[in-house]
């Protein structure tokens, strides 16, 4: 036994001296008490049999021997003893140079940590008990606060000089002030009618216990808003003889005015609906008349001359009928889609899609169809991966805007269509630019309103519903749409949408 080492570490620590291979060279007298398996703690034996906690940390111990790490601590190791009382120890490992052999060895110091661990556990238990007590008190306070907060009337208590001493949460919400902003302030900060304040003080002072009831007073909130409050007031005796406080209980009667305003709004809405119905009837009669006339005239001509006309001429009228039917179908589709949007039944069903293919197919279809007399320049700045959008609504947005760009642009002009993603691949931006007639500034503010059409469209057909549906579709994607237009120069629409919109079945009215 190393006597000097024993003197240095005793009585606080027990120790073990190990070789580089974890073999026990030396052990203090009490070290065996700390072992998980005391009978395995013998000189010449591997320490890991007696202290299994060291299994798995061999690399750390080798780093200590090599000087790459100074020491290692293992605190709060639990042991079982015969008395079945808790027993804990701390284990410290460090490099040790044997003064006799000058070999690098390991020293393991063992310290009884039972008292500290029990104190820590006791402290943790007391802390938990204190936290439970605080939680109970907090819950009780919250319950009382909820009762006070649920009061549907404003409560103010002032002293005889009119200085506010108590205010409830409803009063704070009603007048827009915090409690600190009202306490120790004159009540005239809220109630500016001095004659009412003087009246309540005189009446209540001479009629202790009686109320002044339902006096309508205009009060001013923190924002300067005037609200009408029905106040009742009474004097209450304080602990000091002859000194009174005044209790004001106020009820906001502005709701009656709000109801009136809502009724007026409902009447206005009803008027707007009547106008919409009138606009729809006017639009339908105008927009359906042209294709119906075309169908009727072509049918009548085919009926009378079909047997003598050549096939080429008959085919021309068949195509005319087909075009008219497609136009009417498109009108009906717009009306149906608009009615769903207005009723809040327009559904949002996102799914994975390949944007490049979708846009490419759409451009090809339009170029071969209504855009045959225009040039559509399409630029795709990918990769725009992981697109998760409503394909039907997206197609409606792009088809409507591209169709409008073609419809309101002279033949031979170019329509520019671009699709690009941001650096984070989170948003996608579509830009559609034409060289058409443009939109007058006074019409741009009403551009997305139902049945509204710019004053310069002339005889160009349209329902005034397309852009209203486009806006609803963009809102369902949680995106945004902007427009920049100049009469005689052209129009640019920019639509920004989340690339990955995993929101399902959101009605328009909830946006």
CA distance 485 to 491: 4
Q: Which H or E run includes 291? A: helix 254-305
At residue 264, does pLDDT exceed 50?
yes
Query: Which range has the worst mean pLDDT, 66-75, 335-344, 498-507?
Result: 498-507
Cα–Cα separations (whole angstroms), residue 423 to 261, 385, 418, 482: 48, 12, 16, 21
**Mean pLDDT across the chain, nearest whole number?**
83
Task: Give buried/exposed letters for 161-200 (b at 16+ CB in 10 A, else e).
Answer: ebebeebbbbbbebbebeeeebeebebebbbeeeebbeeb
- pLDDT for residue 383: 76
Decide: helix, strand or coil at residue 36. coil
Question: What is the torsional sign of CA 458, 463, 468, 469?
Answer: negative
> Predicted confidence band at 73 (pLDDT cuts at 50, 70, 90)?
very high
| Topology adopted by domain 3-112 | Beta-Lactamase (3.30.450)
* Domain layout of the chain by residue ranges: 3-112, 154-252, 273-342, 351-510
CA distance 495 to 482: 7
Cα–Cα separations (whole angstroms), residue 163 to 29, 160, 171, 184, 314: 79, 7, 15, 6, 94
CA distance 488 to 333: 31
Angle CA 82–85–91, to nearest 5: 90
For 260, residues 6+ apart whose C-beta sits below 8 A from its C-beta are: none
At residue 397, does pLDDT exceed 60?
yes
Same topology between domain 154-252 and domain 351-510? no
In this prediction, what percent of the chain has a pLDDT beyond 70?
85
At residue 2, does pLDDT exceed 60?
no
CA distance 11 to 16: 14
Q: Which of 334, 419, 413, 409 is nearest to 384 (CA)?
A: 419
| Topology adopted by domain 154-252 | Beta-Lactamase (3.30.450)
- 90-136: per-residue pLDDT in tens? 999 998 877 676 677 899 999 999 888 989 989 999 999 999 998 88
Cis peptide before 383 (omega within 30 of 0): yes
CA distance 441 to 435: 17
- pLDDT for residue 267: 81
- Whether the CB-CB separation of 219 and 229 falls below 8 Å is answered with yes
Cα–Cα separations (whole angstroms), residue 247 to 164, 187, 192, 200, 220: 10, 11, 17, 10, 19
Q: Which of 73, 235, 250 is nearest to 153 (CA)?
A: 250
CA distance 501 to 328: 33
- 449-501: per-residue pLDDT in tens? 877 788 888 878 777 788 888 888 899 899 999 999 999 999 999 999 998 87
**pTM (predicted TM-score):** 0.43
Q: Diameter of the chain by CA atoms? A: 132
Mean local confidence (pLDDT), 7-23: 79
Mean local confidence (pLDDT), 55-76: 89
Q: Which residue has the higher pLDDT, 152 or 441?
A: 441
> Predicted confidence band at 260 (pLDDT cuts at 50, 70, 90)?
confident
Q: Which of 27, 24, 34, 35 is nearest to 2 (CA)?
A: 27
CA distance 275 to 53: 84
- 215-239: per-residue pLDDT in tens? 888 898 999 888 888 888 888 877 7
Exposed / middle / buried, residue 378 (Cβ in 10 Å: 0-12, 13-18, 19+): middle
At residue 49, does pLDDT exceed 90?
yes
- pLDDT for residue 206: 64
| Topology adopted by domain 351-510 | Heat Shock Protein 90 (3.30.565)
- 164-220: per-residue pLDDT in tens? 988 888 899 899 999 999 999 999 898 888 778 777 767 666 666 667 888 888 898
Tell me the sheet residues that pair with 97: 104
Residues 305/310/315/321 CA torsion (nearest 10 deg): -10
Task: Give buried/exposed letters for 321-347 (b at 16+ CB in 10 A, else e).
Answer: beebeebbeebeebbebbebbbeeebe
Q: Which residue has the higher pLDDT, 241 or 322?
A: 322
- pLDDT for residue 321: 84
Q: Which of 172, 165, 233 is nearest to 198 (CA)?
A: 233
Q: Where do we find the tokens 């120890």? A: 89
Mean local confidence (pLDDT), 135-141: 85
CA distance 298 to 316: 9
Ordered alpha helix ranges (H), 97-113: none
The backbone torsions φ and ψ at residue 450, rounded to the nearest 5 degrees and listed phi first, read -65, 135
Q: Which residue has the higher pLDDT, 250 or 268?
A: 250
- 352-379: per-residue pLDDT in tens? 988 888 999 999 988 988 889 999 999 9
Q: Which of 241, 231, 228, 249 is nearest to 157 (CA)?
A: 249
| Topology adopted by domain 273-342 | Helix Hairpins (1.10.287)
- pLDDT for residue 506: 44
DSSP 82: T
Q: Which residue has the higher pLDDT, 267 or 207?
A: 267
> Predicted confidence band at 410 (pLDDT cuts at 50, 70, 90)?
very high
- pLDDT for residue 509: 38
- pLDDT for residue 124: 92
At residue 257, does pLDDT exceed 80?
no
């Amino acid at each position: 036994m190393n006597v000097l080492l024993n003197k240095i570490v005793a009585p606080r620590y027990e120790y073990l001296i190990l070789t580089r291979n974890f073999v026990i060279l030396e052990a203090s007298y009490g070290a065996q008490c700390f072992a998980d398996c005391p009978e395995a703690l013998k000189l010449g034996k591997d320490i890991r049999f007696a202290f299994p906690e060291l299994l798995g940390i061999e690399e750390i111990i080798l780093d200590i021997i090599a000087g790459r790490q100074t020491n290692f601590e293992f605190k709060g190791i639990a042991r079982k003893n015969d008395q079945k009382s808790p027993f804990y120890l701390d284990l410290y490992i460090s490099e040790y140079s044997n003064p006799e052999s000058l070999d690098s060895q390991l020293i393991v110091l063992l310290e009884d940590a039972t008292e500290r661990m029990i104190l820590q556990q006791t402290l943790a238990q007391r802390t938990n008990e204190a936290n439970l007590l605080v939680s109970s008190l907090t819950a009780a306070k919250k319950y009382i606060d909820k009762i006070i907060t649920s009061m549907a009337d404003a409560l103010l208590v002032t002293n005889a000089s009119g200085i506010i001493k108590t205010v409830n949460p409803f009063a704070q919400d009603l007048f827009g002030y915090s409690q600190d902003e009202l306490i120790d302030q004159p009540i005239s900060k809220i109630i500016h009618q001095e004659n009412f304040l003087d009246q309540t003080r005189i009446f209540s002072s001479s009629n202790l216990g009686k109320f002044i009831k339902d006096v309508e007073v205009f009060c001013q909130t923190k924002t300067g808003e005037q609200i009408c409050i029905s106040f009742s007031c009474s004097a209450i005796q304080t602990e000091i003889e002859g000194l009174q406080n005044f209790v004001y209980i106020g009820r906001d009667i502005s709701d009656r005015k709000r109801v009136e305003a809502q009724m007026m709004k409902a009447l206005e809405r009803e008027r707007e609906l009547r106008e919409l119905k009138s606009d729809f009837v006017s639009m339908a009669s105008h927009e359906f008349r042209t294709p119906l006339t075309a169908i009727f005239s072509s049918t009548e001509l085919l009926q009378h001359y079909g047997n003598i006309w050549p096939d080429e001429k008959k085919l021309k009228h068949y195509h005319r009928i087909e075009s008219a039917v497609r136009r009417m179908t498109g009108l009906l589709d717009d009306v149906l889609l608009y009615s769903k949007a207005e009723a809040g039944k327009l559904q949002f069903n996102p799914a994975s899609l390949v944007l490049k293919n979708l846009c490419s197919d759409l451009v090809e279809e339009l170029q071969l169809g209504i855009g045959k007399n225009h040039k559509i320049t399409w630029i795709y700045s990918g990769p725009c991966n992981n697109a998760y959008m409503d394909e039907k609504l997206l197609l409606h947005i792009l088809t409507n805007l591209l169709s409008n760009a073609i419809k309101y642009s002279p033949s031979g002009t170019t329509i520019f269509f671009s699709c690009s993603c941001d650096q984070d691949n989170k948003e996608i931006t579509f830009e559609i630019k034409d060289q058409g007639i443009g939109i007058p500034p006074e019409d741009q503010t009403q551009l997305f309103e139902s049945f509204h059409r710019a004053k310069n469209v002339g005889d160009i057909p349209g329902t005034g519903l397309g852009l209203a549906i486009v806006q609803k579709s963009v809102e369902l994607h949680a995106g945004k749409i902007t427009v920049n237009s100049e009469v005689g120069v052209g129009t640019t629409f920019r639509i920004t949408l989340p690339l990955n919109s995993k929101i399902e079945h959101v009605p328009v009215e909830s946006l």
